[in-house]
Structures are given as C-alpha cells and as structure tokens.
C-alpha cells in the first residue's frame, strides 16, 4: 500500500483556464475527501464521496468546481474558469469511515499546489 497519491503535484495556470486534479486513495478505503488549504490556515472541507456517491459539498464549492469518483476508485476535481482566489493547496484524503471496520482517521495525499496567474 503506497498511501494516497495526487497528480499533478504542482499546477500553474492562467486565469480563466480549466484545471483537473486526480487523487488515488488507499485501495480499501470507501470514503474520499477533498480539502483546500491556504497559507497560514488549516485545511477546509470541500466535498466527500462514499464509494462512488458524492454525499456532501461545502458552500465553499462554487459552481465552477466539480468532483467525480467513477466506480468508487480514483477521484478527479475540476475547476472551470479559474480565478486568482482559487490559488491554494488542494488535498485529498481517504478513510475507512463506515461499517464494522471503520477507523475514521483520514490519510492525506501530498496535495496539488495550484497557482493561478
């Protein structure tokens, strides 16, 4: 088990462009989360999936953001028409968060740092 992986690690884009990030969770984990972290702050929740179902979205997640988790495996987070305020570290985490084997702690990937110029 190699842990949670995220690609790319860094992304620089021009304002108005679309970007897509990928997260590969720990294989047996049924829950997958996306968070955003800006400098000097703790991560803020964006959305989460249980298997392939997206069960909750934060009000931070504007209409320009969309996330998918086809087949309950990897997930993608797309930002359309990027703005400078979208510049942040986007973190993915996974957990075994339900059922008898639930452990609840989330394991985080290294993050994708987005810079919008």
Q: Nearer Cβ to other proteins, position 25 or 109?
A: 109
The region of 13-21, 70-78, 79-87, 92-100 touching other proteins under the rule CB under 8 A is 92-100
Distance between the two ends of the chain, CA-based, in angstroms?
A: 36
Smallest gap from residue 39 Cβ to other proteins (A): 11
Smallest gap from residue 109 Cβ to other proteins (A): 6
Cis peptide before 79 (omega within 30 of 0): no
Contact 112, 13 (CB under 8 A): no
Q: Nearer Cβ to other proteins, position 82 or 95?
A: 95
The region of 13-21, 71-79, 80-88, 105-113 touching other proteins under the rule CB under 8 A is 105-113
Largest CA distance in the chain: 46
- CB environment 15-52: b (16+ within 10 A), e (fewer): eeeebebebbbbeebbbbbbbbbeeeeebeebbbbeee
Residue list 7-66, contact with other proteins (CB under 8 A):
31, 33, 35, 40-45, 48, 50, 55-56
Point out which residues bind other proteins (CB under 8 A): 4, 31, 33, 35, 40-45, 48, 50, 55-56, 91, 93, 95, 97, 104-111
């Amino acid at each position: 088990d190699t842990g949670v992986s995220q690609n790319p690690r860094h992304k620089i884009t021009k304002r108005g462009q679309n970007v897509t990030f990928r997260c590969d969770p720990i294989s047996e984990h049924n829950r997958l989360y996306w968070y955003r972290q800006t400098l000097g702050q703790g991560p803020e929740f964006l959305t989460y999936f249980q298997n392939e179902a997206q069960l909750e979205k934060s009000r931070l997640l504007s209409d320009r953001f969309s996330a998918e988790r086809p087949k309950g495996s990897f997930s993608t987070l797309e930002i359309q028409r990027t703005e400078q305020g979208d510049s942040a570290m986007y973190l993915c985490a996974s957990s075994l968060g339900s059922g008898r084997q639930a452990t609840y702690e989330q394991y985080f990937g290294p993050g994708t740092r987005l810079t919008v110029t």
